[in-house]
Amino acid sequence: MAIEQIKMPQLGESVTEGTISKWLIAVGDKVNKYDPIAEVMTDKVNAEVPSSFTGIIKELIASEDETLAIGEVICTVEVEGAATTDSDDSSVSDQVSSEDTQSNVSLKEEREDQPNKKRYSPAVLKIAQENDIDLTLIEGTGAGGRITRKDLLKIMNSGTIPTKHETKEKQLEYQQESMKLEEQKPMKHTSTASTSIGDIEIPVSGVRKAIAANMVRSKQEAPHAWMMMEVDVTNLVEYRQSLKNEFKKKEGFNLTFFAFFVKAVAQALKEFPEINSMWAGDKIIQKKDINISIAVATDDSLYVPVIKAADEKTIKGIAREITDLANKVRNGKLTSAEMQGGTFTVNNTGSFGSVQSMGIINYPQAAILQVESIVKRPVVVNGMIAVRDMVNLCMSLDHRVLDGLICGKFLARVKEILEQTSKETTSIY
């Protein structure tokens, strides 16, 4: 027999961690390869994790509601094929002195106490490298002594960051001091709100926890800036109104205003590829493909499916994809593959009447555009007051990647495309 590990799978391109919402197996259960063993939630998808092996479940390393980084071990499976190495320790111990044996026993006890001490997630390694932190001197609070992002952020927030260039004694002193400071702080995640008779307490679901974690990460890591531009879409509204009934009868789905906006954004991204970028620590990655993420909300969750190669699609093709992806979200049939690869997000906040909003960037993308509600307003046209269909475009940007000048040019181009949309200039096919 051999013990094999099953790890947290990659469930999306920008997904860095997942939460075990429910185990579908227990220790001692027999599983076949590809059998579902756990339900996992991320900020983008709910999915079942399949077994990578056929065998007996040996240990559930992660507990339900625990969040682990991609690539971390969630459980072990006993698989037929090789002998275990349980007897190795005894054969080695026969060859060492009693003093060395005692030392080995102590080390073994320490490993059993903290079996995950040196299993670092990619997020932990990245933070440690960027801040020159020696992980061997950090006491982890995760399962089996595992060092978590929260452990490192706690030390960094204390203002006394131990580095690899200081003595071990000094580093331990810093860590103890940071723990004291943390104890003196109020608990950040503990609600101070009191409840009264008639109040309803709603437990936070795994999906909501994942959404919250991703939103917090985006706000903490990306310095958000914001700008807005108003657009006269009177001609676009008239064009769409003249087509919508015949289009619905012919194609079987709606020709929405949102399809026109997504097409205009995709075209502008092709002309301003700097906007279609991502922050990657020591470099900025400018993406070749233009894949538009669109936000689709349910009663208690938010999903971000992706329209791939949006710049190559017609308005009709984009309208079809918007309809298909929204239906999949609401019917629970959206796959993780359909939420991967997004390079820029367009959010249809106008669908519920909003006229101005500041979106949180869909990490690790560099920007998000909120398309607000189209409203009739009096505006000055050629020196005269006229009633026009107006819409606000609100853009949040990661100021590490983008500056106001390039974003202003990009929004101005989107505005130009939309204001020139009409029966004479634009084809939906």
CA distances from 328 to 39, 225, 362 (A): 19, 33, 20
The catalytic residue among 89, 100, 289, 403 is 403
Catalytic status, residue 100: no
The catalytic residue among 100, 132, 300, 399 is 399
Catalytic status, residue 399: yes
Q: Under 8 Å CB-to-CB from 280, ≥6 apart: which residues? A: 364
Pair of tokens at residue 70? 């991609």
CA 275 – CA 268 distance, rounded (Å): 9
CA 154 – CA 175 distance, rounded (Å): 10
Q: How far out from the chain centre does Cα 132 lie?
A: 26
By the 10 Å C-beta count (0-12 exposed, 13-18 middle, 19+ buried), 302 is classed as middle
Active-site residue set? 399, 403
